[in-house]
Chain A
Amino acid sequence: MKNRGDLPFQWRWCSVALVVVMLMWSPGCGRKTSANPPPHKKFDHPPKLVVPANGAYTGAYMEFGEREDNVSLEAIEEFEEQVGKHQAIVAFSSYWGEQHFPAEAARLVAAHGSIPLLFWSPWDWPYREDLVEVHGPDKYRLDNILAGQWDAYIDAWADDAKTLGTPLLVSLCNEANGYWFPWSATYYGGEKRLADSNPPRYAGPEFFKRVYRYVVDRVRARGATNVLWVLHLNNFSDPYAPWNAMEQYYPGDDYVDWLGLSVYGQLFPDDPKWEEFENMAETPYEEICKLSPTKPVMFAEWGVGEFPEKGSKADWISEGFEQMRTRFPRLHAAVYWHERWQNNKSMLYSNLKVNSSPAALEAYRRGIGTPYWLGNPVFR
């Protein structure tokens, strides 16, 4: 007998059936869905590297083999474990002789959470300075570049750099104010003074700047705006002459993002004198700061060899960290050159590695341990 107000028969049955079915299926519902990974922090715009207001990025080149581009996670992790800090910058070379952008290495470094610093050097295999002395520049000579011979390579390189997406530092034709690299101004007119130039300008550095701008323009034209250009000069010009001074090499504010210096102590066993860090760094720092009032400064290469008879590497490193921290306020990055090599003529070794002696390693660990030295890059 059905009364008004009773639930229809079918409804009741359906709800019961539903309950029963749900009970039956409950054992299978224990399956947990695996937790999703936290969403990747994405920027609306391409990320930009922040120059730390008070502090400096620490980085290193970590003995990446003959071509200086054999970057492996193992090598990076081993170094970081030795020095006790993650490295904000990992440096390696991109020789034009390899004819490709080191995409794998750059990706690995970026995935590891570090900024790649590429030494982009127009040089052919076997990348030996003693051969440069004998034969001079090779097919990657600056005039060839300016003539457009390597345009295709530059464009492809720029495309790959753009694909990387994240910021990368590029030191193009470093230490041009020295004499040991085939792009040194010495080989391109050097000290020849240009007519009608007042203040005086010199052929070598001028040519260098032209090529520099040419390459940077090409790369920018391909849209690789994530490249940060480092004007990377040697701490002391060699030959030490006015035509070779740092200021001669400045290509202009819009072609430079960072000012870079190579600051080395004793590198070779037959170097005449053990120079203190102060002597190697202070004056060059002041000189490069004059090139621009605002741009940040980095020691794109720094280090010293293990020559215990000549001097204390541990002290040199300690002083280096201390002075970089306290005396060079515009310095916001320092990249250590961690390598040991055998010198061809003397067969003696130059050991710049941070662990060339226990004392040196201890000094490095202590120096880098202060919070002033940032182990992770900051993006905006």
Chain B
Amino acid sequence: MSSPSGFKPVFFDRGGKRWPRARRLMVLFGLLAFLASVFFVQSLLIAPTLVLPLKLKKLKEQLRSLQKQTPAVTSAAATSDAALRSFYQSPKGARRLDALNRQLSPKPPRPPHAAREIRLGFYVGWDPASFDSLTAHADRLTHVCPEWFSLTASDGTFSGENDVALLEFMNENKQLTLLPLLSNAAGEGRVAEAVENLARATPEVQGRFVDNLKRRLGEIHAGGVLIDWQGIDPATEEELTNLLVKTADGLHDAGLQLWLQIPAGEERQVFDLTTLGDSVDFFVASLHDEASEEDTPNAIAAQNWFSSWLDAVASRGDPQQWVIGLGNYGYDWAVDSNAANRSGWQRADTISFADAMSRAAYAGEGSTESGAPEYNPSFDYTLAGVNHEVWFLDAVTFLNQARTAHAKGFNGLGISRLGTEDPQIWTALDLITPTPLSKSDLAQLSDLKTGKTITNIGEGEIVTADISPEDGRRRVELDERTSLLTTTYEKYPEYPSLYHQGAGGAHQVALTFDDGPDPTWTPKILDILRQKKVPAAFFILGQQAENYPGIVRRIVAEGHEFGSHTYTHVNLSLAGEQRTRTELNATQRLLETITGRSTTLFRPPYEADSRPSQLSEVAPLVVAQDLGYMTVMESIDPEDWERPGADVILQRVKQQRHNGSIILLHDAGGDRAQTVEALPQIIDYLRARGDQIVSLGQLLGTNRDALNPWLKAKDRSLAQVASSLGFQALHAAFGFLWAFMIVATALIVMRTLLVIVLALRQRRRSRAQIAVAGDAADPQPVSVIIAAYNEEKVIAATLRSVLDTDYAGEVEVVVINDGSKDGTGAAVRKMAEADPRLRLVEQENAGKSEALRRGVDLARHRLLVFLDADTLFQRDTLRYLVSPFADTRVGAVSGHARVGNLRSFIARCQALEYICGFNLDRRAYDAWNCITVAPGAISAVSREALQAAGGFRPETLAEDTDLTLSLHRRNYLVRYEANAIAWTEAPETIRALAKQRFRWCFGTMQCLWKHRDMLFNPKFKALGFFSLPSIWFFQIILVALTPLVDLLLLASVLLGSGRAVLPYLFTFLILDQLLAVLACVLEHEPLRRSWIMVPMRLIYRPLLSWVVWKSILSAARGVLVGWGKLERTASATVPSRA
């Protein structure tokens, strides 16, 4: 068979045009890439999912160091004072703190109160100011009346509070008597039926009621109960009186008192005071609410109204049995623009004295006075275009009323209520004397010191805070004519204030989601919002946005608003000013990078109650404002993060809907399945009750572009533009690699299993055939052909191993010396003289395929065996190798090459590779007749098959692969004989290995390309669909990409976001190890060989990958790569050999 001349090596570019063209393109592309990457590289770091601009990187560094400084303190542990102190480190902050901390001079000890000088403090548990006032002034009180029992059911049962803090306080202050309130109030109204039905109930029911009451009063160590029942039908007067008498009797038996609240108005007629006076211990007349919330603006307790009421009581009863409740709060009436409201005024808000001061300070115009005839102060102000009228009671009205009462013989006073009072009433208490007041007395009431009470102005949950405390002043004078005091406010004290806006209409409500984005829940929520066509606002955590920028962009793309929720979900009350700033700045930069928009919306983590009571909660809001944020709180909080159940979440929204117009939900921070389940129900409910679900922009009368403005072009530096582009490219690249890794893992798993199954099958089958092969009746003659080039060192051993065989048939060995420069020829000649079976053929150097072709021509026999010059046969190798030819369909047989030298690490890696790579694969392929290469190191081919396949061709560097594939084309079987073992010498240095593998890889690529029509060709069945694609994917593509994937995995692990990545890393390693172990078991190799797998992957594989890339590059360059062991640089056109 002569060599065809003018062959075209695969990938050879004869015209030489392909490379220059490609090179020009590559230069241009490289230049652009270089420019971009200069900017890009400086910001490239950290998480593989997001590239952060330098500014943000610095902020994150700051944040990290601050995080280490701030110890993790639970909010319960930190007191308000300590937290405040730690918050305000700056001089400005310290000044603020000083102003707030200024205390009144310490109070002198009081003498114990005179007999029957009752001081009753009305208390509520939901206002921390009430508790503060109680603790500060407990020594001035004798009785405490908390809102406690609620009688609203018609069967005589009532519910009770459980204010543990109050009970503990009362326990520590046993000189105070606890006198809880039993009322029939429900929401803003009264449940008359509850009392009327109890009054008409059977003695048994009433008896149960009294016993219940006694028991529960005993449980809380109360001294009695104050009954406050209103709205009762006067028709039930008799029954009611009997009920009260009965109750009084029952309580007295237990040593408890019954006090009765008598309403000041027509309603008092329902109580038969004469009869009740004998049973009830005290009557309480709350002489305020002359104008109540439902009325039009007027004095809350005008002096003459107050005075005439006292007269009425004094004329009918014993003043000593009465406690006169004095009001100390205010009402703020707003004009109602709704034409349907004929009164023109909305229902008034109840406000504290401090609130009134803040409003007056805010309005800034005119002065507030109190004088004849009401002696109640009032003022007007305008907020958001709406007019307001405020009437309130202060220490001066308190003193007027108290002195009037005292003069008429009433010694018992009630303070309604603790927490809303003018702080000066405690001074006023000392001035309740019969003697006229002096100027110095009045001067005591003129200082209005600021304090820590937080006042609220306006409606809505979007707040701006102002902490600039200032003291105030008023002028108190005595009206000689009436002996009553008048006031003129000269300067209003300024308290820490919260200005509210964004109340919206009665039927407007907004949805907000905190803590996101989360890849599981946020998309689901976005789907629901889109389907229901409902806008929402998302308060985003920086650390979440960093990991899931795509979801942030989706939030913006779907039209929702977004705000900042800090970076790390820190409790800002404990964090300090600097940390707060850093958190907010970092989050803002990040959101700008991701979306190109900034945000003016902010919501603090943990406490977003729109009426905060702790100053430490308000201080961070001031910082946020300085940075340009509006704080968005909430007043409808179903606490969905608690996971109480979707129906409970809906229920809570229903119950709290009246509180305000912003609903707080969470789209991250845990399992939000219940939130997702409840959301559509909440939307349906809101719509059913006539609400419109609006955006925050609509609540504020603006739009999203104002709340989330686009960054102006000039704000975006070139670096930012480049980094965001680079980020996108990198993100896309990483996204692709992730997907690739997942698919690759799946394919590897499948392939591994398949290979193992096939290998096992093949082994079982081959065992059965061994018996057959060994007893070949008529062993055919065999020609062994060896092409040698500079193999002086090893050729002798090789030949010896071949000649020393137990093959029964005739064996000849033909060695073609391909123009060796060393003593190869001499060594062979020497041996040939000794053994007639051995022949030496000399020729000019012409390349391996030429040499082999010559050898085939000169060989005499039909069965041809090929091996490399450095391969050692075993005695039985020939016998086994040739035995499959008993089947005439067999065209070639591949032997079992093993690595003989195991001295170096590289060699051992190759050994393992041979075991579980080449040989295991060949076993598997053998089962389906899809062996891709019968290796030149050890193989046998029949002459007719060789001829049919066209012999050894020079177009590729891997002529054995070429031949094998050609054999398959002609439907010859290619078998694998595992028992035909040959020991090959693996390269021991990396360099040598690289050269060898490059040759193999490039050669294989040439073959694959040459025979590319066999790929996915049904005609070639397993070859086309299994082994060839296997090579393409697992040996070329995967090997090329694996190092990138490994780098990605390593980078992820090192840089922190490794948790998601580790499973994949472990999967790959475990699979590789499993395969190695199985291969060793199958091949009867010692298992310890397999443990090299892990280091092999980390060191050896990258080398192979480099080889693959080099091959690909060479293919692209279209340059013919020569065959040889020495250094080669090929010229462009002529196949060259050294």
Which residues on the B side are within 8 Å of A16 (C-beta)?
Answer: 1016, 1029
A335 to B560 alpha-carbon distance, docked (Å): 45
Given A2-B1013, A358-B155, A349-B192 contact (CB < 8 Å): yes
A112 to B688, Cβ gap below 8 A? yes
Tell me which of A23-31, A134-142, A218-226 binds B: A23-31
A357 to B235, Cβ gap below 8 A? no
A6 to B1013, Cβ gap below 8 A? yes
B528 to A34, Cβ gap below 8 A? yes
B1019 to A6, Cβ gap below 8 A? yes
A74 at the interface (CB under 8 A from B): yes
A125 at the interface (CB under 8 A from B): yes
B917 at the interface (CB under 8 A from A): no
- What residue of chain B has the Cβ atom nearest to residue A307's Cβ? B235
B340 at the interface (CB under 8 A from A): yes
A72 to B200, Cβ gap below 8 A? no
B154 to A358, Cβ gap below 8 A? yes
- What residue of chain B has the Cβ atom nearest to residue A28's Cβ? B739
B233 to A348, Cβ gap below 8 A? yes
- What residue of chain B has the Cβ atom nearest to residue A77's Cβ? B654
Residue of B524, B689, B740, B1029 near A72 (CB, 8 A) is B689
B342 to A126, Cβ gap below 8 A? yes
Which residues on the A side are within 8 Å of B743 (C-beta)?
Answer: 20, 23-24
B1019 to A73, Cβ gap below 8 A? no
Tell me which of A7-15, A148-156, A295-303 binds B: A7-15
Which residues on the A side are within 8 Å of B233 (C-beta)?
Answer: 348-349, 351
B193 to A356, Cβ gap below 8 A? yes
B340 to A12, Cβ gap below 8 A? no
A6 to B689, Cβ gap below 8 A? no
The residues in B between 997 and 1049 inclusive whose CB is less than 8 angstroms from any CB of A are: 1012-1013, 1015-1019, 1029
Given A12-B1015, A347-B266, A31-B193 contact (CB < 8 Å): no
A31 to B523, Cβ gap below 8 A? yes
A9 to B1019 alpha-carbon distance, docked (Å): 13
A11 to B1019 alpha-carbon distance, docked (Å): 15
A215 to B687 alpha-carbon distance, docked (Å): 33
A24 to B735 alpha-carbon distance, docked (Å): 11
The residues in A between 112 and 137 inclusive whose CB is less than 8 angstroms from any CB of B are: 112, 125-126
Given A1-B1013, A9-B1013, A356-B193, A347-B269 contact (CB < 8 Å): yes
Most A CB within 10 A of own CB, among B527, B1012, B1016:
B1016
B193 to A348, Cβ gap below 8 A? no
Which residues on the B side are within 8 Å of A112 (C-beta)?
Answer: 688
Min CB gap B233→A, angstroms: 4
A9 to B688, Cβ gap below 8 A? no
A12 to B1017 alpha-carbon distance, docked (Å): 8
Number of interface residues of B (CB under 8 A): 40
B770 at the interface (CB under 8 A from A): no
Which residues on the B side are within 8 Å of A232 (C-beta)?
Answer: none
Min CB gap B693→A, angstroms: 15
A196 to B1019 alpha-carbon distance, docked (Å): 112
- What residue of chain B has the Cβ atom nearest to residue A98's Cβ? B340
A237 at the interface (CB under 8 A from B): no
A73 to B269, Cβ gap below 8 A? no
Min CB gap A179→B, angstroms: 26
A33 to B740 alpha-carbon distance, docked (Å): 25
Given A111-B688, A358-B155, A348-B235 contact (CB < 8 Å): yes
Min CB gap A228→B, angstroms: 23
A107 at the interface (CB under 8 A from B): yes
B468 at the interface (CB under 8 A from A): no
A194 at the interface (CB under 8 A from B): no
Which residues on the A side are within 8 Å of B1012 (C-beta)?
Answer: 9
Min CB gap B1079→A, angstroms: 27
A269 to B196 alpha-carbon distance, docked (Å): 15
A85 at the interface (CB under 8 A from B): no
Chain A window 34-45, contacts with chain B (Cβ cutoff 8 Å), 1 for yes, 0 for no: 101000000000
Most B CB within 10 A of own CB, among A2, A74, A125:
A74
Which residues on the A side are within 8 Å of B527 (C-beta)?
Answer: 33-34
Which residues on the B side are within 8 Å of A74 (C-beta)?
Answer: 654, 689
- What residue of chain B has the Cβ atom nearest to residue A33's Cβ? B527
Given A347-B234, A351-B233, A357-B1017 contact (CB < 8 Å): no
Which residues on the A side are within 8 Å of B739 (C-beta)?
Answer: 24-25, 27
Residue of A23, A269, A308 near B200 (CB, 8 A) is A308
The residues in A between 272 and 325 inclusive whose CB is less than 8 angstroms from any CB of B are: 306-308
Which residues on the B side are within 8 Å of A15 (C-beta)?
Answer: 1016
B969 at the interface (CB under 8 A from A): yes
Most A CB within 10 A of own CB, among B193, B342, B507, B1029:
B193
A6 to B1017, Cβ gap below 8 A? yes
B193 to A351, Cβ gap below 8 A? yes
A213 at the interface (CB under 8 A from B): no
A348 to B234, Cβ gap below 8 A? yes
A1 to B969, Cβ gap below 8 A? yes
Given A1-B969, A6-B1017, A358-B154, A34-B266 contact (CB < 8 Å): no
Chain A window 97-117, contacts with chain B (Cβ cutoff 8 Å), 1 for yes, 0 for no: 010000010011001100000
A27 to B736 alpha-carbon distance, docked (Å): 12
B902 at the interface (CB under 8 A from A): no
Which residues on the B side are within 8 Å of A201 (C-beta)?
Answer: none
- What residue of chain A has the Cβ atom nearest to residue B658's Cβ? A74
Which residues on the B side are within 8 Å of A48 (C-beta)?
Answer: none
- What residue of chain B has the Cβ atom nearest to residue A69's Cβ? B340
Given A34-B527, A348-B233, A357-B200, A12-B1016 contact (CB < 8 Å): yes
Min CB gap A171→B, angstroms: 21
- What residue of chain A has the Cβ atom nearest to residue B686's Cβ? A73
Given A9-B1013, A16-B1016, A357-B689 contact (CB < 8 Å): no
Which residues on the B side are within 8 Å of A27 (C-beta)?
Answer: 739, 742
A67 to B739 alpha-carbon distance, docked (Å): 66
Which residues on the B side are within 8 Å of A25 (C-beta)?
Answer: 739
A277 to B193 alpha-carbon distance, docked (Å): 23
Chain B window 874-908, contacts with chain A (Cβ cutoff 8 Å), 1 for yes, 0 for no: 00000000000000000000000000000000000
- What residue of chain A has the Cβ atom nearest to residue B736's Cβ? A24
A34 to B530 alpha-carbon distance, docked (Å): 10
A222 to B217 alpha-carbon distance, docked (Å): 66
Given A6-B1019, A308-B200, A353-B193 contact (CB < 8 Å): yes
The residues in A between 312 and 363 inclusive whose CB is less than 8 angstroms from any CB of B are: 340, 347-349, 351, 353, 355-358, 361
- What residue of chain B has the Cβ atom nearest to residue A19's Cβ? B1016
The residues in B between 335 and 368 inclusive whose CB is less than 8 angstroms from any CB of A are: 340, 342
Most A CB within 10 A of own CB, among B154, B235, B654, B1019:
B235
The residues in B between 42 and 73 inclusive whose CB is less than 8 angstroms from any CB of A are: none
A307 to B233 alpha-carbon distance, docked (Å): 11
A357 to B528, Cβ gap below 8 A? no
B689 to A34, Cβ gap below 8 A? no
A27 to B735 alpha-carbon distance, docked (Å): 12
B766 at the interface (CB under 8 A from A): no
B689 to A73, Cβ gap below 8 A? yes
Which residues on the A side are within 8 Å of B269 (C-beta)?
Answer: 347
B531 at the interface (CB under 8 A from A): yes
B197 at the interface (CB under 8 A from A): yes
Min CB gap A119→B, angstroms: 16
Which residues on the B side are within 8 Å of A34 (C-beta)?
Answer: 524, 527-528, 531
| Given pairs A36-B531, A74-B654, 15 additional interface contacts (CB within 8 A) | A7-B1017, A9-B1012, A16-B1016, A27-B742, A72-B689, A73-B689, A108-B690, A126-B342, A308-B200, A347-B234, A347-B269, A351-B196, A355-B154, A357-B200, A358-B197
Closest 6 CB pairs of A and B: A73-B689, A349-B233, A12-B1016, A34-B527, A108-B690, A358-B154
16 pairs, A vs B, C-beta closer than 8 Å: A1-B969, A1-B1013, A7-B1016, A12-B1016, A13-B1015, A13-B1016, A20-B743, A23-B743, A27-B739, A36-B531, A108-B690, A111-B688, A340-B192, A347-B266, A357-B154, A358-B155
**Chain A residues with a Cβ under 8 A of chain B:** 1-3, 6-7, 9, 12-13, 15-16, 20, 23-25, 27, 31, 33-34, 36, 67, 72-74, 98, 104, 107-108, 111-112, 125-126, 269, 306-308, 340, 347-349, 351, 353, 355-358, 361
